[in-house]
């Protein structure tokens, strides 16, 4: 029987690239995201290679998440690897100018959504035990502050600490947990963050060399396919052409 991976946020960016990467290695895929048409396109592409089950799902809806896992066809159980990738940033401006609804959307998706899926899938991962894994998509923003990062960075700090705390509780089950924390990567992330401003997205990535979705997909696959006795706790990765900057100082 094939190993089974569940990837959230499979309709774009890292999630879609990860779906292709796992398919290449013969894993059965459970692909989740809200955009049904994108899921269907990916299913048509990848079901020529491996079994694919798609679930049109908003990770913020705990009941829907629970039901989707309960309704999985037999050949897609148990789940060996959970890739908690669905997430977003919004409102790249100072906190004092942000709509409260945008903060709530980030918390509901990146924190509540991630714990909804984790809670629903944990029994399956524990059933697999040795070799099973959870790969959480954190961010450099979870460790390093920057202007306009506000709640987005805070949600990714949650992802890091939740990863570590899960490790403590899952010790002895064989289930591994990792926080992959990328820096700048060219996906639809900035388009979403800027409310659909393609020019702003293009500008951010132009004249430099951002990470590509396939780079992160490779690291996700690597993490989940390591020998069962190895757990990467956190993997922070930036483009070579990105680094930290100086502290900002307010002067008279």
Catalytic site positions: 152
Give the phi and the psi of residue 9 in degrees, each rounded to 5: 65, 45
Instruction: Please list every residue from 85 through 124 that binds ligand NDP, using CB under 6 A.
Output: 85-88, 109, 113
Give the count of beta carbons closer than 10 Å to the beta carbon of residue 6.
Answer: 28
Taking CB atoms, the residue at the shortest distance from ligand 8X3 is: 139
Query: 78 preceded by cis ω (within 30°)?
Result: yes
Comparison of 110 and 118: residue with beta carbon closer to ligand 8X3: 110
Please report whether residue 35 would count as binding ligand NDP according to CB under 6 A.
Answer: yes
Pairwise CA distance, residues 173 & 200, whole Å: 45
Instruction: Please list every residue from 121 through 140 that binds ligand 8X3, using CB under 6 A.
Output: 139-140
Please report whether residue 210 would count as binding ligand 8X3 according to CB under 6 A.
Answer: no
Cβ neighbours for 228, distance < 8 A, ≥ 6 positions apart? 130, 131, 174, 176
Least distance to ligand 8X3 from the beta carbon of 34, Å?
Answer: 20
Please report whether residue 141 would count as binding ligand 8X3 according to CB under 6 A.
Answer: yes
> For residue 137, what are the β-bridge partners?
180
Pairwise CA distance, residues 168 & 83, whole Å: 19
Least distance to ligand 8X3 from the beta carbon of 183, Å?
Answer: 5
Comparison of 14 and 22: residue with beta carbon closer to ligand NDP: 14
Asked whether the beta carbons of 63 and 112 are under 8 A apart, the reply is no
Which of 13, 113, 183, 239 contacts ligand 8X3 by CB under 6 A?
183
Instruction: Please list every residue from 38 through 77 that binds ligand NDP, using CB under 6 A.
Output: 38, 57-60
Q: Residue 207, exposed/middle/buried by CB under 10 A (0-12, 13-18, 19+)?
A: exposed
Binding track, positions 165-204, relative to ligand NDP; x by CB under 6 A: -----------------x-xx-xxx--x------------
Least distance to ligand NDP from the beta carbon of 96, Å?
Answer: 23
Record the tokens describing residue 243, joined without a space. Answer: 């680094």
Please report whether residue 180 would count as binding ligand 8X3 according to CB under 6 A.
Answer: no
Least distance to ligand 8X3 from the beta carbon of 122, Å?
Answer: 25
* Cα separation of the two ends of the chain: 68
Nearest residue to 120 via CA among 64, 69, 177, 56: 69
Binding interface with ligand NDP (CB under 6 A): 8-15, 33-35, 38, 57-60, 85-88, 109, 113, 137, 139, 182, 184-185, 187-189, 192
């Amino acid at each position: 029987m094939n190993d089974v991976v569940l990837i959230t946020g499979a309709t774009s960016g890292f999630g879609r690239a990860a779906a292709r990467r796992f398919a290449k290695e013969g894993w059965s895929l459970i692909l989740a995201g809200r955009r049904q048409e994108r899921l269907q396109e990916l299913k048509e592409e990848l079901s020529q290679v491996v079994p694919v089950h798609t679930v049109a799902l908003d990770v913020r809806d705990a009941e829907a998440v629970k039901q989707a896992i309960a309704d999985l066809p037999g050949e897609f159980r148990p789940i060996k690897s959970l890739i908690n990738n669905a997430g977003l940033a919004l409102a790249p401006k100072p906190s004092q100018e942000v709509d409260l609804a945008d903060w709530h959307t980030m918390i509901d998706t990146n924190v509540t959504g991630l714990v909804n899926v984790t809670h629903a899938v944990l029994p399956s991962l524990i059933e697999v035990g040795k070799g099973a894994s959870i790969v959480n998509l954190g961010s450099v923003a979870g460790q390093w502050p920057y202007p306009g990062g506000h709640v987005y960075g805070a949600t990714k700090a949650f992802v890091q600490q939740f990863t570590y705390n899960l490790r403590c509780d899952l010790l002895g089950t064989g289930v591994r947990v990792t926080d992959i924390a990328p820096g700048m990567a060219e996906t639809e992330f900035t388009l979403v963050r800027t409310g659909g401003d393609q020019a702003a997205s293009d500008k951010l990535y132009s004249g430099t060399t951002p990470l590509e979705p396939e780079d992160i997909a490779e690291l996700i696959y690597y993490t989940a396919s390591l020998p069962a006795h190895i757990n990467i706790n956190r993997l922070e990765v930036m483009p070579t052409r990105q680094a930290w900057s100086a502290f900002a100082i307010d002067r008279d």
